[in-house]
Amino acid sequence: MKSSLRKLAIGLSALAAMGLSSAALAQQKVTLGVSIPAATHSFTAGVVWWSNQAKAELEKAHPGLQVIVKTSSGAPEQANQLQDLLTVNKINALVIMPFESASLTQPVAQVKKKGVYVTVVDRGLTDTSAQDAYVSGDNTAFGRLPAEYLVKKLDGKGNIVALRGLATTLDNERMDAFKAVIDQHPGIKLLDARYGNWNRDDAFKVMQDYLTRFKHIDAVWAADDDMAFGVLRAIEQAKRSDIKEVFGGAGAKGMVKTIIDGSNPLIQADVSYSPKFIYDAIKLTAEARLKGEALPETTIIPSVLITKENAQDFYFPDSPF
Contact 194, 206 (CB under 8 A): yes
Q: What are the CA-CA distances from residue 321 to residues 167, 196, 217, 251, 306 (Å)?
A: 22, 19, 29, 8, 16
According to DSSP, residue 272 is labeled B
Tell me the pLDDT of the chain (321 aa) as tens digits. 434 434 434 443 443 444 433 333 444 699 999 999 998 878 889 999 999 999 999 999 999 999 999 999 989 999 999 999 999 999 999 999 998 888 999 999 999 999 999 999 988 888 999 999 999 989 999 999 999 999 999 999 999 999 999 877 788 899 999 999 999 999 999 999 999 988 899 999 999 999 999 999 999 999 999 999 999 999 999 999 999 999 999 999 999 999 999 999 999 999 999 888 999 999 999 999 999 999 999 999 899 999 999 999 999 898 888
The residues facing 247 across adjacent strands are 221
Q: Cα–Cα distance between 255 and 314 in angstroms, integer? A: 10
Strands (E), 28-173: 30-37, 65-72, 93-96, 117-121, 133-137, 158-164
If 0-12 CB within 10 Å is exposed, 13-18 middle and 19+ buried, where does residue 265 land? exposed
Contact 203, 171 (CB under 8 A): no
Indicate if the alpha-carbon torsion angle 110, 116, 121, 124 is positive or negative. Answer: positive
Indicate the pTM of the whole model: 0.75
In order of start, what are the domains of the chain with their CATH numbers? 29-138+275-301 (3.40.50.2300), 139-271 (3.40.50.2300)
Q: Cα–Cα distance between 215 and 17 in angstroms, integer? A: 80
Would you tell me how many other CB atoms lie within 10 Å of the CB of residue 261?
11
245-247 vs 270-271, strand pairing mode: unpaired
